[in-house]
Amino acid sequence: MDYRNLKFTTIDDFKNLKPKKDFFVGLDSDGTVFDSMELKHKDCFIGSLIRNFELAPIAHEVHFVWNYVNLFSQTRGQNRFKALINTFKYLNKIKKVQNFGILFPDLHFLNKWIIKSKSLSNESLLGISQTIKFEDRKVLETIIKWSEEVNEAVKSTVFNLPPMKGAIEAIKIMNPFVDIAVISNTPLEALYRDWAENKILSKVIIVGGQETGTKKEMLKCIINKKYDQDKILIIGDSPGDLTAAKSIKAQFFPIIPKKEELSWELFNQSYFKYFFEKKYFGNQERDQINKFNLALNSKPVW
């Protein structure tokens, strides 16, 4: 099925959503429900990045830095355009890269767009083409080409990837009591494909992705005066998910990188019950967040 022809979710859909149950859980997708983070970043993002920005002489460093930024640090799970800025920033600090004399493009215009834009998507980025300097347009074209290649690579690489067993079990456990929504930075086409092909799309009340808005914005719209504060939980695998949860004063349960199935096992055995009985907030939540932060507290060595 070609999911590009679907009418995808807008932020107004989030605003107008009516609760069906008393409890709400917002689920991230990549790295939380699907164990797809390493596959996407290592096999889909990096090769295109090296080709489009002519970084072959420092391919090893590009792999190292991109994986650090997107998988193993406090910026895990951030939007791809933010990750591009951070990757070039870190690469600039590496002695070997400096010795090659590689000049990275000025991404000042990209950073300004990230700060102002409500949707960090290819379509939104293309919209600034006529508002920036001519030399920046060339860089913009390269960024868009890279991002579009990534989407195509994801489509041809990430398929037949089932959800984690623990995530499926959690969705079954929660479904009778909880409104479940997908709150993700992933493009909507990929989200609909992943959730529909695995027959779990019907288990959620709405799917929000890269084109819909930021996670903070989606959550603010979906829970505003609709659910009691102690009946809202966000589940994710990145610090951005934690930040989004706390922006609406919601509780957060982390799916810890490299310990994903164990995290889901703990949630299904104990922590959903704690949340449902309103006993999770406090020491239980702090303990899980501390373990999560510790797992992503590595410092780059270069």
**What pLDDT, in 10s, does the model give residues 177-195?**
999 999 999 999 999 999 9
206 belongs to a structural domain: yes
Q: Are residues 69 and 87 in the same domain?
A: yes
Question: Where residue 275 sits, what CATH number does that domain have?
Answer: 3.40.50.1000
**How far apart, in whole angstroms, are the C-alpha atoms of residue 249 and residue 243?**
10
pTM value is 0.90
5 against 245, higher pLDDT: 245
302 belongs to a structural domain: no
Considering 157, 185, 219, which residue would you say is the last residue of a domain? 157
Condensed to tens digits (0 to 9), the pLDDT of residues 116-158 reads 998 899 999 999 999 999 999 999 999 999 999 999 999 999 8
- Measured N-to-C along each axis, helices 108-116 and 80-91 cross at an angle, to the nearest 10 degrees, of 150
Considering 157, 182, 213, which residue would you say is the last residue of a domain? 157
Structure tokens at 77: 């799970």
Q: Are residues 104 and 19 in the same domain?
A: no
Q: Are residues 125 and 262 in the same domain?
A: no
Strand order in the sheet with 251-254: 206-208, 178-183, 23-27, 232-236, 251-254
300 belongs to a structural domain: no
Do 37 and 71 meet the contact criterion of CB atoms below 8 Å apart? yes
Considering 157, 188, 212, which residue would you say is the last residue of a domain? 157
- Which residue segment(s) compose the domain that 17 sits in? 3-35+162-295
Q: Are residues 9 and 104 in the same domain?
A: no
Condensed to tens digits (0 to 9), the pLDDT of residues 42-72 reads 999 999 999 999 999 999 999 999 999 999 9
Q: Residue 158: its pLDDT value, please?
A: 87
Q: Are residues 77 and 131 in the same domain?
A: yes
Summarize the confidence of residues 161-165 as an average pLDDT: 95
Q: Are residues 31 and 42 in the same domain?
A: no
Condensed to tens digits (0 to 9), the pLDDT of residues 239-270 reads 999 999 999 999 999 999 999 999 999 999 99
Tell me, what amino acid is at 221? C
What's the domain count of the chain? 2
**How far apart, in whole angstroms, are the C-alpha atoms of residue 104 and residue 149?**
20
Q: Are residues 80 and 30 in the same domain?
A: no
Determine how β-strand 178-183 pairs with β-strand 251-254. unpaired
Residue 207 three-state SS: strand
268 belongs to a structural domain: yes
